[in-house]
Structure 1
Amino acid sequence: MADDGSAQGAIWPLTKFYFSVSLGSQDNTASFQEVSGLDTETQVVEYRHGDSKTFSTIKMPGIAKFSNVTLKKGVFVKDNNFWTWYNAIKMNTIKRETVVIKLLDESGSPTMTWTLSNAWPTKITATDLKSEANEVAIETLELAHEGLTIANS
């Protein structure tokens, strides 16, 4: 009998290939091939007061910084939603959306959720074209955002 690990109560790490992405408040779910850039970083503030007995600085947490998130998806006929969103960007009038990225378990239930606050497209890269290629056409959407929250289900 094959040992699948269940007899020992093994807990396996989640796979990263089953996820969903919702753009905006109206639950506009889109299918993506790849999501990257779910990074956050806290800048370091160094300080030393003049009467400190140690000749080194104190390091304190500063301002939080969030990376742009990159989404890649296949190009579909008559699907210009990202270009429409991108073209809506004008000086001081940016259509910001909440973007929700969910990592799903084998039953399709979310296990981890990343929520991007006030996201808007900063860059769209159209697919490259090659007459000898045997690949799917992929477009890339880069989003800037003002906050990343993570929740476990």
Structure 2
Amino acid sequence: MPNALISTDPLIAQNFFLEIDGSVVTILASVSGLDIEMEVASTQQVGKDGKSQTIKTLAGRNKAPDLSLVRMAPADSTSDKLWGWFNDIMSKGIKLGDRTNQRKNGSVVLYDSTHTEVARFNFTNGWPSKISTDQLSVDSNDPVKETITLTIERLERVK
């Protein structure tokens, strides 16, 4: 009988960072949207016995999610790389047909408690389309957080 016990430790989402073009841009508090999904094409047809059938097949491409990244808001947005990238897009736009203008490749990288990389999700042609700041309240002692929506064209887990 094969050993049914887990032989490796589970991934613990404890330390994770955003890298853009190979350098760490920011530490993250949470990430969602790490969905790797293939697009499915469906067709309906009637079989020889007269019953309706649904046929599903690969549509030939992957669906690209939007990533939602939560981090502590920087004290100075003017010196923050993400805010700089976002503001540059807001002021200059993204030129139609120029696939390299403002779009960047990057990764969400997970580390274990010994600071060893344990997982990596690479994205292609990403750009920040929205930055939301938490609600502010005089009653709170919590640090202010930001949620960054990163629009991407491809996501893959490589480690």
Q: Same fold (TM over 0.5)?
A: yes
How is 1:1-153 mapped onto 2 (pairs within 5 angstroms)?
Answer: 10-23=7-20, 25=21, 27-47=23-43, 52-53=47-48, 55=51, 56-62=53-59, 63-80=61-78, 81-89=81-89, 90-92=93-95, 94-152=101-159
AA at the equivalent of 1:116: F
Q: Is the 8 A contact 2:109 2:120 kept in 1?
A: yes
Q: Distance in 2 between matches of 1:61 and 1:22?
A: 31
TM-score, normalising length: structure 1: 0.80
Report percent identity of matched pairs: 24
Q: Deviations over 1:20-58 (max 9, x none)?
A: 2212x25133111111110122232123568x5363132
Q: Structure 2: 5+ residue runs without aligned partners? A: none
AA at the equivalent of 1:13: P
Shift of 1:104: 1.2
Q: Distance in 2 between matches of 1:78 and 1:70?
A: 21
AA at the equivalent of 1:113: R
Q: Distance in 2 between matches of 1:108 and 1:139?
A: 25
Residue 46 of structure 1: SS of its match in structure 2?
A: strand
Q: Distance in 2 between matches of 1:91 and 1:132?
A: 40
Task: Evaluate the alpha carbon distance shift between residue 44 and residue 26 of structure 1 in structure 2; reply closer, same or farther with a 3 A threshold.
Answer: closer
Q: Structure 1: 5+ residue runs without aligned partners? A: 1-7
Q: How well do the aligned residues superpose, as a CA RMSD in angstroms?
A: 2.3
TM-score, normalising length: structure 2: 0.77
Task: Evaluate the alpha carbon distance shift between residue 64 and residue 10 of structure 1 in structure 2; reply closer, same or farther with a 3 A threshold.
Answer: closer
AA at the equivalent of 1:92: K
Q: Distance in 1 between matches of 2:6 and 2:22?
A: 40
